[in-house]
Structure 1
């Protein structure tokens, strides 16, 4: 279920869950649907599906159709004594070899041969991370050297082109043209 990658950007694992739970089950493949999200995932839809956001305004557009986390974060938190596996932090796509947090808003990520997502912003780590593993939140939400908040919990995206994504698929990064906007929480 996990794909090994050498020296290239790619998909390590894919996950989904039809219920609103923190962690998602790792599966052999996921199907992305343009403008909708991942088939069979609780966060798919044209309007916001995240429970706290639905409570505030259910008519908001869904900028969080697909959640991606870099496997390098799991390596980093392992150094602090935490064991986190793909899907456990609620992501749909676990990547390796892509600096997700350094991408500008609007970056296109081509996943495998068919699918493409547009990065909309950062995941804002919340208390559920500590509920999953006590103390983990401080590892994924900290302060940068300049004192600004540093969010390491991955990026959110919307599906531009549908398709099937599997572990081992390559990722091609297409940066936006024009002035690049840094990622902000969505």
Structure 2
């Protein structure tokens, strides 16, 4: 099971968007070098308010580019980095991966999937109504989150658009992704 990196993004300042880059450097145990969300402990403002000593399970945000086409069909124009992701992917079912999946990216980098991104109301400030496109309910009433996955860096390295992504599933039984 694999895919490809289509875009990489980072931002040293708190902002909803992250500018695209030619490459990003992942640092083991920290996240994206120079990104505001890098660190051992939580860096998202809402998480800091809850417990600033909690481990940072959201070091790297990955988002599948297929979502862009899905929301475009509903009238929303979204490009890489505009939803705050660090890595935009293609050809891999990120949302279908179990917790603990290892993602090998390029020659060196290794991420461990920790859970689903739980998008907030800032998405509607970007484009009104977009939040309903990335968070909804399935036919049974369960919440469905489509705004990507979160991960931690197990091995650092430089990643670029065009790098291959290989997924290594954890031992069974698999745990489905939940919000982190």
Partner residue, 2:69: 75
Residue 53 (1) aligns with residue 52 (2): no
Runs of 4+ in 1 over 4 A off after TM superposition: none
Structure 1-normalised TM-score?
0.95
Deviation, structure 1 residue 125:
1.2
Please point out which of 172, 176, 180 is paired with 2:170: 176
Q: Secondary structure, in 3 states, of the residue corresponding to 2:52? A: coil
Distance 2:143 2:65 in 1: 21
Report the Cα offset of residue 126 of structure 1. Answer: 0.8
Helix, strand or coil: the match of 2:151? strand
Corresponding residue of 2:93: 99
**How far off its partner does 1:24 sit?**
0.2
Q: Determine the C-alpha separation between the residues in 2 that align with 1:121 and 1:164.
A: 23
2:33 maps to 39
Structure 2 match to 1:158: 152
Question: What is the CA–CA distance in structure 2 between the aligned matches of 1:127 and 1:60, rounded to whole Å?
Answer: 23
The residue that corresponds to 1:26 in the other structure is 20
1:74-130, Cα deviation, whole Å (9 max, x unpaired): 110010011100000000000001100010000001111110100000000110100
Say which SS state the counterpart of residue 125 (structure 2) adopts: helix
SS at match of 2:75: coil
Residue 116 of structure 1 pairs with residue 101 of structure 2 = no
Equivalent position SS for 1:139: helix
Q: What TM-score do the two structures reach when normalised by structure 2? A: 0.98
DSSP 3-state at the match of 2:172? coil
What RMSD, in angstroms, separates the aligned Cα atoms of the two structures?
Answer: 0.7
Residue of 140, 143, 149 corresponding to 1:146: 140
Q: How many residues align?
A: 179
